[in-house]
Amino acid sequence: MKLAPLVLMLLLVTSLAQAQQPQVVREWLTVAPESAGAEVLMPLAPTASERTLEPVAGQKITVKAQISVLEEKHTFVFSFHDQVLPKDAQAADKALDGAVKGAIASTLGALDKVSVVRSGGLNGREVTYTLIQGEKNKMRVASRFFLDGGRLYQLSYIAPDADFNSGYSKKYLDSFKHLPKK
């Protein structure tokens, strides 16, 4: 499974983080984009983003994302896209493992941990890794991937290594809730 759209979304985070002003968190907000079929908690109202990409010739996918930036250093990204995937459990596991491998390989990251997770009946993967942007600029990433048929959800918390907040990470990643189809 190609992960180009997700990697491009992580790169987009850098430019959006610089565009938002720091704010104080009073209460985390429930974010449930109408077409997502899922919801998450974010510390501040997010900015919506949508991009159509062609990771493989002839296969276009539209990645939708919600991005929230706190104090110019804590970035929360909730993204999802639909892709044609086999629907059996073994293929789903391979797709999730491929998403994790692609996230690490295409970002020059150093893998810290990968584990199997479940949420609302969906199988998923949790991964933490370090992005290296130059000699002194290390970013820490904690992500969860969930697959619902052909829809891939990704939640990522990204912060400079020195500012990584495990409390923010846990609260955000644990907040994912798959919503029943209407």
Residue position matching structure tokens 């510390």: 43
Confidence of residue 182 (pLDDT cuts 50, 70, 90): low
Determine the 3-state secondary structure of 78 from DSSP. strand
**138 phi/psi in degrees, rounded to 5:** -110, 130
In which domain, by residue range, is 160 found? Answer: 4-178
How many Å apart are CA 79 and CA 67, to the nearest integer? 8
- Report percent pLDDT > 70 for the chain: 79
- Percentage of the chain exceeding pLDDT 90: 45
Question: Structural domain tally of the chain?
Answer: 1
Question: 13-17, 105-109, 129-133: which has the minimum mean pLDDT?
Answer: 13-17
Candidate from 66-75, 107-116, 119-128 with smallest mean pLDDT: 107-116
Give me the mean pLDDT over the 47-58 stretch: 85
Alpha carbon 63 to its chain centroid, in Å, reads 11
Report field, pTM of the whole predicted structure over 0.85: no
CATH number at residue 47: 3.40.1000.10
Q: What secondary structure letter does DSSP report for 149?
A: T
**Which residue would you say has higher pLDDT here, 121 or 143?**
143
Which range has highest mean pLDDT (41-50, 85-94, 131-140)? Answer: 41-50
27 to each of 60, 64, 73, 113, how far by Cα in Å?
A: 37, 24, 18, 30
pLDDT tens digit string along 68-80? Answer: 999 999 999 999 9
pLDDT computed for residue 59 by the predictor: 79
The pair of structure tokens assigned to 27 is: 């209460």
Q: What is the mean pLDDT of the chain?
A: 81
Token output for 70: 């706190």
Which is higher by pLDDT, 113 or 76? Answer: 76
Interatomic CA distance for residues 18 and 110, integer angstroms:
25
* CA dist., res. 6 & res. 17, Å (int): 17
Q: Please count the residues of the chain.
A: 182
